[in-house]
Amino acid sequence: MSNRILVVDDEERIREIIKKYATFEGYEITEAENGMDAIKICEEQDFDLIIMDVMMPELDGFSAVRAIREKKDIPVLMLSARGEEYDKIHGFEIGIDDYVVKPFSPKELMMRAKVIMQRNEKSNYITNEVEHKVFTVEGLVIDFTARTVTIDGERVEMSPKEYALLFYLVENRNIALSRERLITEVWGYDYYGDDRTLDTHIKLLRNSLGPYRNYLVTLRGVGYKFEA
């Protein structure tokens, strides 16, 4: 069964380009012209990935992703004509998986889409197979199996990538982890993005950890480690 992708963009030309390359790769494509249509379609259908434009009439991409994520956990690759760090950080904060700036290479877009879907399938398999694992230090409780983080009794909401990064750091705690290793293990061997994405997620993760942010140590010239 082929993977299903929802392409959301108000520009028909962009949708046609993506559909052409995605169909060639064997994916099944559904189109939406704006965020409102995307929400309605996701209420009725399931997808393996959503490719979502940011700037659209009716409802912007960020708002559409938040609405969809309230009901379904579908991976999202965001498209935007703007490459400002604020937009990228905002996207990662609401849980998107990747961010591509227009104009883009259709081939690269398909490569990124493939990596996201493969990683999501692998993540679901691992979640179903592992035993219940919990790590606790002071008031920080990390439940690997339930994919939850609790700080001083309060549940903390993180993006999927924040969870993945934190879990990997904690599983390899007190070990110096290079930037390359973190990107390879958390984003995948075929990651095509900017390695500044790692720094952005470390910043978001520290904010999420609040009083326990100092457990996440920066190793200048090397990478990071979770020291506890």
- The CATH number assigned to the domain holding 53 equals 3.40.50.2300
pLDDT, position 24: 92
- The CATH number assigned to the domain holding 203 equals 1.10.10.10
Are 45 and 140 part of one and the same domain?
no
SS (HEC) of 148-175: EEEECCEEECCCHHHHHHHHHHHHCCCC
Are 33 and 69 part of one and the same domain?
yes
Tokens of residue 224, six digits: 């990071």
Mean pLDDT in residue range 196-203 = 87
Q: Are 15 and 40 in contact (CB under 8 A)?
A: no
DSSP-derived 3-state class of residue 223:
strand
Q: Is the peptide bond before 103 cis (omega within 30 degrees of 0)?
A: yes
Are 85 and 54 part of one and the same domain?
yes
Are 27 and 116 part of one and the same domain?
yes
DSSP-derived 3-state class of residue 143:
strand
Give CA torsion, residues 186, 192, 196, 199, to 10 deg. Answer: -10
Are 140 and 52 part of one and the same domain?
no
CB contact set of 30 (below 8 Å; sequence gap of 6+):
4, 5, 6, 7, 41, 45, 47
Are 109 and 157 part of one and the same domain?
no
Residue 168 neighbours by CB distance under 10 Å: 15
Alpha helices in 45-178 (DSSP H): 61-69, 85-93, 106-129, 160-171
- 105, 126, 147 — which closes off a domain? 126
pLDDT, position 145: 79
Are 83 and 135 part of one and the same domain?
no
What confidence tens digit (pLDDT) does each residue in 75-129 have? 999 998 877 777 788 888 888 888 888 888 999 999 989 888 887 775 554 445 5
Residue 47 neighbours by CB distance under 10 Å: 23
Are 122 and 23 part of one and the same domain?
yes
- 100, 126, 152 — which closes off a domain? 126
Domain count, the chain: 2
CB contact set of 79 (below 8 Å; sequence gap of 6+):
9, 14, 51, 52, 53, 54, 61, 100, 102, 104
Question: Mean pLDDT across the chain, nearest whole number?
Answer: 86
Largest CA distance in the chain: 54
Is the confidence at residue 130, as pLDDT, over 70? no
Q: Which domain holds residue 219?
A: 130-226
What confidence tens digit (pLDDT) does each residue in 141-199 have? 998 877 889 999 899 988 888 888 999 999 999 999 998 889 888 887 556 566 678 88
Are 179 and 86 part of one and the same domain?
no
Q: Are 62 and 89 in contact (CB under 8 A)?
A: no
Are 81 and 115 part of one and the same domain?
yes
Are 108 and 10 part of one and the same domain?
yes
Residue 166 neighbours by CB distance under 10 Å: 24
DSSP-derived 3-state class of residue 195:
coil
- 65, 93, 126 — which closes off a domain? 126
Are 174 and 116 part of one and the same domain?
no
